[in-house]
Every structure is written in C-alpha cells, then in structure tokens.
Amino acid sequence: DTGVSQDPRHKITKRGQNVTFRCDPISEHNRLYWYRQTLGQGPEFLTYFQNEAQLEKSRLLSDRFSAERPKGSFSTLEIQRTEQGDSAMYLCASSYPPEGGELFFGEGSRLTVL
Amino acid sequence: EDQVTQSPEALRLQEGESSSLNCSYTVSGLRGLFWYRQDPGKGPEFLFTLYSAGEEKEKERLKATLTKKESFLHITAPKPEDSATYLCAVQANEYSGAGSYQLTFGKGTKLSVIP
C-alpha cells in the first residue's frame, strides 16, 4: 500500500489554459474525494465519488471544473479556461466504509495560474 | 450552513509547555468531528474522530474532547516534532440537507514548539 498518489505535484500554467490532475487512491478504497486548499485556509470540498458514481458536488464548483472516475479506480480533475483565482493546492483523498470521515489524503497538486 | 472556527490561529509553545487548541462548530446535525494534522507542503493526516458530546480520544501526547458546541485538542508536554497545523472538521448527518459525505474544515491552528 503506497498511499494516495497525485500527479503532477506542481503545475504552472497561463490563464485560459486547461489543466488536468490525476489521483490514484488506496486500492481497496471505494470512496474518493477532491478538495481545494488555498494559503491559510482549510481544505474546501469539491466533489465525491463512490466507485465510479459522482454522488456529491459542491454548489460553489464552477462549470469549468469537471471530475471523472472511470471504472471506479483512478480519478481526474480537469479545470478548463483557468483563472488566477484557481491557483491553489488540489487535494485528493480516499476512504473505505464505514469510516466516512477518516480520509487518507495525497500530497496534493499545486496549481499556479499566471 | 456548517461552520468551523478554530482558535488561536497560531500558537507558539516551549517544549514541554502544555496547552489546548479550540474548535467551535455549528452544524445542523453532527455525524462526526475530526482532527487532522498537516505538515507544510503535505496533505492532512487523520488523527481522531469524535461522535458525541463527552467523548474523548487519546494518542501519544494528544487528547481530543467534544462538547455540543466545541472540541478541544489538548497537547501535553509537546515536542518540536509536534509542530504542524492542526485542522478541525465536521461532517453533517444525512438529515441536515447538506451533502453527508463532505467535511467542512476550519482554517487550522499553526502550532510551533520551540526546543
């Protein structure tokens, strides 16, 4: 068990470009979450998958954000037409029922939009 | 809307100087309250889950307690390796109307333990 893996760890992009992040959860975990964290703030929920189904999505999530989890394994988070306000750490986490709040986080993907 | 407020924002302790971190929360129906530790540049690491008022959990120099309105993380005789940001989060139950799988985090308390 190597833990939750995220790629890339760092991404610098120009405003208006699209970016995609990948998350590989712990293999036996069927729950996968995406959070966003900016400097000095706690993580903010973005979306949640149980197996391949996206069951929850933050009301604050822009239409420019989309997430997938094909076949219930790895997940991708895509941000289209990036804006400077999208600069943040994007954290992926996984868990296994019944421990709904005990999340195992990856080390995050840091996005800088110039 | 669920809210979590942590205090103080930053805390500086001498090694061995015990103290407590506070987490005040507002949630329509509490499923659980969670404490995480986050080191710089890393993802949060799970510490404790508390489900009901009066519950306590301990791990090494850390003890977490819960009341109906707040939680405390007590740190006894801290060491420099305890330096980190400590995050508190709540999860609402399925009757709250909000998503029941998301955690609402506070901004954290940055703890520095000086040798």
Instruction: Find tokens 């404790």 and name the residue.
Output: B48
Distance in angstroms (rounded) separating the CA atoms of residues B102 and B93: 10
Q: Which residue of B has its CA nearest to A10?
A: B41
Beta bridge partners of A104: A94
How confident is the model at residue B95, as a pLDDT? Answer: 58
The one-letter code for the residue type at A5 is: S
Tokens at B111, concatenated? 């703890």
How confident is the model at residue B18, as a pLDDT? Answer: 98
Q: Which among B46, B99, B100 has the least Cβ separation from residue A103?
A: B46
Nearest-10 Cα torsion for A43, B57, B29, A95:
50
- Check whether A1 has a pLDDT greater than 60: no
Q: Measuring CA to CA, which residue among B102, B64, B101 is closest to residue B86?
A: B64
pLDDT digits (tens, 9 = 90+) for A50-93: 999 998 899 878 899 999 999 889 999 999 999 999 999 999 99
- Tell me the nearest-neighbour CA distance from A56 into chain B, angstroms: 7
Query: How many Å separate Cα B62 from the centre of its chain?
Result: 11
pLDDT digits (tens, 9 = 90+) for B48-107: 999 999 999 999 999 999 999 999 999 999 999 999 999 999 998 765 555 577 899 999
Interface-testing mutation among A47, A103, A104, A110, with chain B (most B C-beta atoms within 10 A): A103
pLDDT digits (tens, 9 = 90+) for B46-56: 999 999 999 99
Beta bridge partners of B20: B74
Helix (H) or strand (E) holding B21: strand B19-26
How confident is the model at residue A61, as a pLDDT? Answer: 83
Q: Are B88 and B6 in contact (CB under 8 A)?
A: yes
pLDDT digits (tens, 9 = 90+) for A33-44: 999 999 999 999
